[in-house]
Structure 1
């Protein structure tokens, strides 16, 4: 999907990357397990939300989450990717200094979150373009500070190579809490209409507590901490390009819902949201590599080893596209049966599901490239991100209006939004990978023809199962598709370095090296 760049420069410092590869593989295994757990935990929520609450209530809930998630992400100051560099530069080997720097970020996040929550509490209309399910929905603003603080806590743990906390919070506690709470609130008359919003609030705070306990054990309370206004202002200003990139990257997954909420009825938003919740799981897998990739990148930036960074991007990029393509086939080939699980009304979202899954595969290289660009070309990366989301907005509106002009149903309108996302993310991957390849002076391409060789027989097997009853298609067809794809990609696509991802070995226990300001 990405073209080959120039060969690595001969002057690039030689380094033994086996430790970095082990660290990336260990984080990748942990996050792959987290993805499976998250997939299992997300299913009960979707069943409850679609079967009990219905597409209209789900659509209003989804529209409200758009602004909440974007604002919370902005208030986290881009620390998901920026904290590793800030700690490396500002703390070195000083653990107490590390702790104080993290608390600087937490203080800023709480301050920005409080202001943002107060503004939305006073002017809630932008959150609810299709109206509220209940007056209690307004308290979704209470999740903004909790979400922002949790992002920083998890980034701090990832800096010390603790990815398990992220998996527990994001893949176990949050999805199971929202599933259980949504069911409980539905059967309480006083909270039935607000059940989805209240369940989401409960899940975010449960995730916060899950992240807070290991953070306090690892970092403790600050010692001799005296926040200074000038230092806090510097953190805010330096974080702006990363905040913009993070907000836009997440915004590409939320803009379509927002525009659908403005131009389409809430039922269409609900159908699209159900499809997106399935398709976004591969996206969680992709972005979950970022916390463990950031310390490795910053270490190699310190010594100027651009060749090693290119090799790590190629390695992680192939891991991600290989796993994501398998997930897309497993969920996309039997897409009608998968969407039918939520009810007959949701089958109309099958095309949207297929396009969304394809979009996540297309986006794989953009996200990995951006993990490096935010350090070495943050302003150019931000400018490209702005252009991409503008392209997506124009295409989304155009495709929805075309579907409405020709009298096409809600499923076609949802598919139009998904198609716009696919085009935008494909362009993003192409442009950002070209830029990174030129800056590193090395190829970062993650495409291998073995992906086609593995996908082709998997599609044939999956298509054969579509002629059978849906329960057979789901129970037997999905494992068959996965098995065929995994067998071929393992034998024809994975080198010995690739197979490290699936072999348990100890990652290095050393702390990340300091990195110079880039």
Structure 2
């Protein structure tokens, strides 16, 4: 590489990339606030679901929601991440392109809903669903449309709408509804509460979307354009489906191998562990446009810097949350009900898996744009590996006569191994493509983990009657020690962008692959 090229690259990194990192930090700060709000709002639902409805009802509910979630994800057809690219590559008004995407989602949702309405036994195997439970698939379109509208708002740098819809409206609606419905609808209260939360989230997405984009004046349904959009986003849809499958195939295996009570206990552990995972997905709308902008100008060094930076932020946060949730795991699971303590081992593996998966998930944010087929091949291979390992662990523990609670943790352990290997493979592959390091891991994180682990071990050594101390004092102590060591030893100047206020003029740089002449409304 010539000296001129080197200097040019350095300028890009020192100038534009610094601006982009600041933009990511600004969006990340909003998302972290949203995460905390989501955590506060989600805990009441978990407590209500565990204490009132119990693991048997939760197991049936978890199976039904599993099908709705995957259908809603597939119905978006990868457009949560592909929307920025679709807008950037067209000179049409933004609102018309978004409505093209909404039509695709509506068609896919209609097909999925029809199948599940005609075959309710897929969702409620072995149980007799009520009329309202049978209508659960009708809510699929609400989740898909909400995701696309929020992605459209994120393209215009409105992350607050996502925080409001996903961290406030949705979790508080399901929490309040589940509590109020329990005395009058114990059998289907959770399903009704879930449907109400999806409708509320859709309304919370629709209102700011209309305010920002307005009515789709002059828009007409165009079959050829719709088909082209579906074809273009098929790889992204496949990547989304595979990522979802990686995180939920364990639940599917449990449905086949264990009774609903065991599934309900595992689902509760999964819900607790999945909260940290929202940190990564909340960065998608802001990270995708920045990556596509850097790729458009051929600045692979900037892409590597963005992936590495966001990867560190997410990995550091999820590792801290994994320590807080897994070290006093019995106390955490016991909070939602004593019968859920059996899910402690599963919780530990699931929390570790969320942290281990973060690097691969962030790398995928770039791979889906520059190596879609290869990324999908890696995901398919690792998903098959995870399924095989899950069954192998379950059968091995059954042969050894281990308790059912340990057998049920087998899929969680397989998930941890699988996502760890996936992160290693995808980060190394992306690093080779970009010719720069992309992994967010830093050695000083190890000292923070060891320090926090020592503090946590001291609290868990207390007698059982002091379990409340583990939660009331031990949890904050683990967090404080971990963050203190991390901040002192692992943080760099660019990391501190998360904690400083940006000037009002700092926004996302060029969003998408090509500047659009349309205003931001």
TM-score of the alignment, normalized to the shorter chain, above 0.5: yes
Deviation for aligned residue 1:132 = 4.8
Deviation for aligned residue 1:408 = 2.8
**Quick one: structure 1 residues 280 and 19, their matched pair in 2 at CA, closer, same or farther if it must change by over 3 Å?**
same
Retained in 1: the 8 A contact 2:295–2:513?
Answer: yes
- The equivalent residue for 1:301 is 295
* From 488, 513, 516, the counterpart of 1:515: 513
Query: Distance in 2 between the 1:443 and 1:11 partners?
Result: 19
- The equivalent residue for 1:474 is 471
Deviation for aligned residue 1:413 = 2.3
Query: Distance in 2 between the 1:177 and 1:385 partners?
Result: 34
Equivalence map 1:27-176=2 (5 Å): 27-91=27-91, 97-132=93-128, 134-176=130-172
Give the TM-score taking structure 2 as reference length.
0.94
Deviation for aligned residue 1:438 = 1.1
Equivalence map 1:399-410=2 (5 Å): 399-410=393-404
Equivalence map 1:133-282=2 (5 Å): 134-188=130-184, 191-282=185-276
Deviation for aligned residue 1:467 = 2.7
Query: Distance in 1 between the 2:302 and 2:451 partners?
Result: 35
* From 476, 480, 497, the counterpart of 1:500: 497
Equivalence map 1:306-325=2 (5 Å): 306-325=300-319
Deviations 1:404-427 (A, max 9, x none): 333333321221111011011011
Deviations 1:99-122 (A, max 9, x none): 100000001111111121011100
Query: Distance in 1 between the 2:55 and 2:70 partners?
Result: 23
**Quick one: structure 1 residues 502 and 511, their matched pair in 2 at CA, closer, same or farther if it must change by over 3 Å?**
closer
Deviation for aligned residue 1:227 = 2.3
- The equivalent residue for 2:21 is 21
Give the TM-score taking structure 1 as reference length.
0.94
Deviations 1:215-246 (A, max 9, x none): 00000111211221111100001111100100
Retained in 2: the 8 A contact 1:12–1:306?
Answer: no
Structure 1 stretches (4+) deviating beyond 6 angstroms?
none
Retained in 2: the 8 A contact 1:27–1:289?
Answer: yes
Query: Distance in 2 between the 1:228 and 1:121 partners?
Result: 28
Query: Distance in 2 between the 1:265 and 1:130 partners?
Result: 10
- Larger displacement relative to structure 2 (213-222 or 503-512): 503-512
* From 405, 410, 413, the counterpart of 1:416: 410
Deviation for aligned residue 1:43 = 1.1
Query: Distance in 2 between the 1:183 and 1:27 partners?
Result: 33
Deviation for aligned residue 1:177 = 0.6
* From 488, 491, 500, the counterpart of 1:491: 488
Deviations 1:377-406 (A, max 9, x none): 111111111111111111122222223333
Query: Distance in 2 between the 1:99 and 1:261 partners?
Result: 42
Query: Distance in 1 between the 2:25 and 2:488 partners?
Result: 19
Query: Distance in 1 between the 2:421 and 2:128 partners?
Result: 36
- The equivalent residue for 1:392 is 386
Retained in 2: the 8 A contact 1:63–1:130?
Answer: no
Unaligned stretches of 5+ residues in structure 1: 1-8
Aligned residues: CA RMSD: 1.6
- Larger displacement relative to structure 2 (406-415 or 41-50): 406-415
Retained in 2: the 8 A contact 1:35–1:284?
Answer: yes
Please give the secondary structure, in 2, of the residue aligned with 1:258. Answer: helix
Query: Distance in 1 between the 2:343 and 2:408 partners?
Result: 7
Deviations 1:19-67 (A, max 9, x none): 2111100111111111111111111111111111110110111111112
Retained in 1: the 8 A contact 2:289–2:512?
Answer: no
Retained in 1: the 8 A contact 2:81–2:285?
Answer: yes
Query: Distance in 1 between the 2:245 and 2:8 partners?
Result: 36
Deviation for aligned residue 1:510 = 6.0
Unaligned stretches of 5+ residues in structure 2: 516-521
**Quick one: structure 1 residues 158 and 143, their matched pair in 2 at CA, closer, same or farther if it must change by over 3 Å?**
same
Retained in 2: the 8 A contact 1:26–1:501?
Answer: yes
Higher relative contact order at CA 8 Å, sep ≥6: structure 1 or structure 2? 1
Deviation for aligned residue 1:133 = 5.7
